[in-house]
């Protein structure tokens, strides 16, 4: 698993983690915002009226209402990215990452408007009478670039597992185990059965389920978030200050958090912002293609609301909960994930300023650090490594404390362990101790610091269950529309079976590996979609002008 994770990280180094990717993603959003006159601001009020059905026509073709399409798309975006993803962004990049999530969302509102409008415009009716759309259809039918459409469709199928499937159940199972001590394999088994029951019914059943889940989960999560924010109201001001003051400098060290460079905070904020709202990824247009709308721009306007609700509202609440509670800088007892575990040469601590500086450079990939990874043999007595001040154990980007080596989760280990290039080799040993935590576990700890006290931590597994499960439902639809494009209706059932099987497997897979795989899959969808959008920028502008001409200036201002 470590080797696979390292391989995926190597690939991600050329994709989502590469220096160029955030600039491409934000650049496309900025270009269209300027080119179309900031539609996310000018048309924001009108988008709500379209959503409410003020301009619906009875002769519009489609399978779902505006609200159902938006609910399906939101269920695909409002998931672990809002709970575990925000926590991961803060864990990696500090408070500054939140600022860049906001920027990604603001510009993403326009990106979403463009991709949904174009995809809805070139949707088709399938063999079974339902609508199918998405970037692969405008790439094929308008750009005559079938090769690009095929790449996008294949990437969509891969991403349905890496974005909508594996990270969702993994976070649900992790949260259920931590809070209720439920074995992940049982969580995976039960939810896999429920998932199969929903997705077999197709888009109409999916839309019916998500349109009920999304409002409920939103209300529960907002109430829970506000209970923590108001409880820690004295820290809200300083939280906002840290978000803005560190935005262009990187986040400073605080507690067990050893700091993050600007490049790290910027990249992780944009990357997690994309994972949260998926603007530019090309996924949401597949859901919106099912909507009953006479004009594609109308559905594009509805999609403007997605990044606003998903990132600017929900992710901001999560970020403020984590920052105001202070848990992001604290170390907690936890089981160490192998992929987050690192053995380095020398004795370092996070109290000494010089040590902190060296650790900061090492963790942020700054080349002039003196820290090197350890290779050799450690003697372990009664679970305690005899390091003699020669080795420091790092876990989750922090100096680990009270480290113990155990067998089967309980018995202290005695003997030798081999370390190669900072990695623990012996498979049957588990390492436990205190360190920073991330993903859903961090958010869950933050929710225990509010008016509900320890009971607050139960909000996360409950809302995460709804958030993540609805995301898995929506992404199964995205994947099967891509399958329909590639091989026709005959491929849908085999895909759904494989989708459910992958969902079950990921319930007990390593968290870090799953997140890494999802990061790679996201970019494999995004780059072809952004290219197609840019190639059709003139058509997009003329399509929008035509909409307002037909609609009339008077109605535009209502």
Phi-psi region at 408: left, alpha or beta (left = phi > 0; alpha = psi -120 to 50): left
Query: Is 367's pLDDT higher than 90?
Result: no
Query: Is 553's pLDDT higher than 70?
Result: no
pLDDT band at 525 (very low <50, low <70, confident <90, very high): confident
What integer pLDDT is reported at residue 515 of this predicted model? 67
Q: Does 180 lie in the same domain as 253?
A: yes
Measured CA to CA, the distance from residue 558 to residue 555 in angstroms comes to 5
For the chain, give the longest Cα–Cα distance.
80
What integer pLDDT is reported at residue 446 of this predicted model? 93
* Domain assignment present for 551: no
pLDDT in tens, 483-508: 999 998 899 999 999 999 999 988 88
Rounded to an integer, the average pLDDT of 236-257 is 90
Find where tokens 């619906």 sit. 56
Taken in order 276, 277, 279, 285, the sign of the CA dihedral is: positive
The least confident of 108-117, 170-179, 235-244 is: 170-179
Indicate the residue among 386, 415, 435 that finishes a domain.
435
Q: Does 484 lie in the same domain as 418?
A: no
Query: Is 555's pLDDT higher than 70?
Result: no
Q: Does 287 lie in the same domain as 352?
A: no
Q: Does 521 lie in the same domain as 427?
A: no
DSSP 256-299: TB--EEHHHHHHHHHHHHHHHH-TTTS-HHHHHTTB--SSHHHH
Q: Does 231 lie in the same domain as 144?
A: yes
pLDDT band at 556 (very low <50, low <70, confident <90, very high): very low
pLDDT in tens, 100-135: 889 888 999 999 999 999 999 999 988 877 888 999
Judge contact between 46 and 544, C-beta under 8 A: no
Q: Shortest CA distance to 107 belongs to which of 22, 16, 20?
A: 22
Query: Is 248's pLDDT higher than 80?
Result: yes
What integer pLDDT is reported at residue 427 of this predicted model? 78
Q: Does 346 lie in the same domain as 325?
A: no
**CATH (domain of 180):** 1.20.1740
What integer pLDDT is reported at residue 26 of this predicted model? 87
- CB burial of residue 404 (10 Å; 0-12, 13-18, 19+): middle
pLDDT in tens, 69-93: 788 777 766 766 777 778 888 998 8
Type and span of the H or E element at 380: strand 376-381
Q: Does 249 lie in the same domain as 141?
A: yes
pLDDT in tens, 182-211: 899 999 999 999 999 888 877 778 878 878
* Domain assignment present for 469: yes
φ, ψ at 454 (rounded to 5°): -60, -25
pLDDT in tens, 12-28: 888 877 778 888 888 99
Indicate the residue among 379, 402, 435 that finishes a domain.
435
What integer pLDDT is reported at residue 422 of this predicted model? 93
* Domain assignment present for 440: no
Count up the domains in the chain and report the number: 2
Indicate the residue among 435, 456, 479 that finishes a domain.
435
Find where tokens 């601001």 sit. 41
Out of 120-129, 235-244, 359-368, give the one with best mean pLDDT.
235-244
Q: Does 249 lie in the same domain as 373?
A: no
Q: Does 354 lie in the same domain as 293?
A: no
Q: What b/e string do you get for 11-41 counting C-beta neighbours within 10 Å, with b at 16 or more?
A: bbeebbbeeebbebbbebbbbbbeebebbbe
pLDDT in tens, 38-72: 999 999 999 998 888 787 777 777 667 778 878 87
* Domain assignment present for 555: no
Measured CA to CA, the distance from residue 330 to residue 349 in angstroms comes to 15
The DSSP symbol for 175 reads H
What integer pLDDT is reported at residue 274 of this predicted model? 67
Rounded to an integer, the average pLDDT of 218-226 is 90
Rounded to an integer, the average pLDDT of 442-446 is 89
Query: Is 469's pLDDT higher than 90?
Result: no
> What pTM value is reported for the model?
0.82
- Structural domain harbouring 102: 2-330+446-542
pLDDT band at 260 (very low <50, low <70, confident <90, very high): confident
Cα–Cα distance list, 233 to 12, 318, 441 (Å): 38, 14, 22
**In the chain, what percentage of residues exceed pLDDT 70?**
95
* Domain assignment present for 400: yes
Q: Does 283 lie in the same domain as 362?
A: no
What integer pLDDT is reported at residue 511 of this predicted model? 58
Strand partners, 132: 124
* Domain assignment present for 8: yes
What integer pLDDT is reported at residue 554 of this predicted model? 42
Q: Does 461 lie in the same domain as 390?
A: no
Measured CA to CA, the distance from residue 201 to residue 187 in angstroms comes to 22
pLDDT in tens, 278-301: 788 898 899 888 888 878 999 999
Helix axes 96-121, 20-35, angle to 10 degrees: 60
pLDDT band at 393 (very low <50, low <70, confident <90, very high): very high
* Domain assignment present for 459: yes
pLDDT in tens, 526-552: 899 999 999 999 999 999 999 988 776
Q: Does 87 lie in the same domain as 26?
A: yes
What integer pLDDT is reported at residue 262 of this predicted model? 84
* Domain assignment present for 549: no
């Amino acid at each position: 698993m470590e080797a696979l994770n390292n391989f995926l990280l190597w690939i991600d180094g050329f994709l989502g983690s590469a220096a160029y990717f955030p600039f491409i993603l934000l650049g496309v959003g900025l270009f269209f915002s300027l080119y179309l006159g900031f539609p996310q601001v000018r048309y924001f009020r009108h988008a709500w009226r379209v959503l409410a059905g003020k301009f619906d026509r009875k002769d519009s073709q489609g399978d779902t209402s505006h609200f159902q399409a938006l609910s399906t798309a939101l269920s695909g975006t409002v998931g672990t990215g809002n709970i575990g993803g925000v926590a991961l962004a803060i864990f990696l990049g500090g408070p500054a990452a939140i600022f860049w999530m906001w920027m990604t969302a603001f510009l993403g509102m326009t990106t979403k408007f463009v991709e949904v409008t174009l995809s809805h415009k070139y949707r088709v009716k399938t063999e079974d009478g339902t609508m199918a759309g998405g970037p692969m259809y405008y790439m094929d039918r308008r750009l005559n670039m079938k090769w690009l459409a095929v790449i996008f469709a294949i990437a969509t199928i891969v991403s349905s597992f890496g974005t909508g499937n594996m990270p969702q159940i993994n976070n649900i199972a992790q949260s259920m185990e931590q809070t209720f001590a439920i074995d992940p394999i049982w969580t995976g088994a039960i939810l896999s059965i429920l998932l199969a029951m929903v997705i077999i019914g197709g888009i109409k059943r999916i839309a019916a389920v998500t349109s009920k889940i999304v409002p409920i989960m939103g209300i529960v999560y907002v109430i829970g978030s506000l209970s923590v924010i108001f409880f820690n109201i004295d820290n809200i001001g300083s939280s906002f200050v840290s978000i803005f003051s560190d935005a262009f400098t990187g986040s400073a060290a605080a507690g067990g958090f050893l700091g993050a460079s600007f490049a790290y905070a910027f990249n992780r904020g944009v990357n997690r912002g994309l994972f949260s709202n998926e603007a530019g990824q090309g996924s949401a247009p597949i859901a919106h293609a099912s909507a009953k709308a006479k004009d594609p721009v109308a559905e594009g306007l509805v999609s403007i609301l997605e990044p606003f609700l998903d990132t600017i509202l929900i992710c901001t609440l999560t970020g403020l909960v984590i920052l105001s509670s202070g848990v992001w800088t604290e170390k907690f007892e936890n089981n160490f994930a192998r992929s987050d575990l690192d053995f380095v040469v020398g004795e370092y601590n996070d109290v000494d300023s010089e040590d902190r500086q060296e650790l900061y450079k090492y963790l942020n990939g700054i080349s002039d650090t003196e820290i090197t990874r350890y290779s050799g043999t450690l003697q372990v007595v009664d679970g305690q490594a005899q390091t003699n001040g020669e080795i420091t154990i790092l876990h989750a980007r922090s100096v680990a404390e009270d480290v113990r080596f155990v067998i089967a989760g309980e018995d202290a280990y005695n003997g030798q362990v081999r370390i190669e290039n900072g990695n623990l080799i012996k498979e049957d040993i588990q390492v436990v101790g205190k360190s920073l935590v991330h993903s859903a576990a961090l958010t869950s700890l933050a929710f225990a610091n509010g008016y509900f006290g320890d009971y607050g931590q139960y909000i996360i597994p409950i809302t995460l269950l709804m958030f993540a499960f609805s995301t898995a439902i929506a992404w199964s639809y995205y994947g099967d529309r891509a399958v329909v494009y590639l091989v026709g209706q005959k491929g849908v059932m085999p895909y759904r079976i494989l989708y459910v099987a992958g969902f079950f497997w990921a319930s007990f897979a390593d968290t870090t590996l799953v997140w890494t795989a999802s990061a790679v899959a996201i970019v494999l969808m995004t780059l072809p979609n952004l290219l197609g959008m840019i190639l059709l920028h003139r058509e997009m502008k003329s399509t929008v002008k035509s909409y307002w001409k037909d609609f009339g200036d008077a109605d535009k201002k209502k």
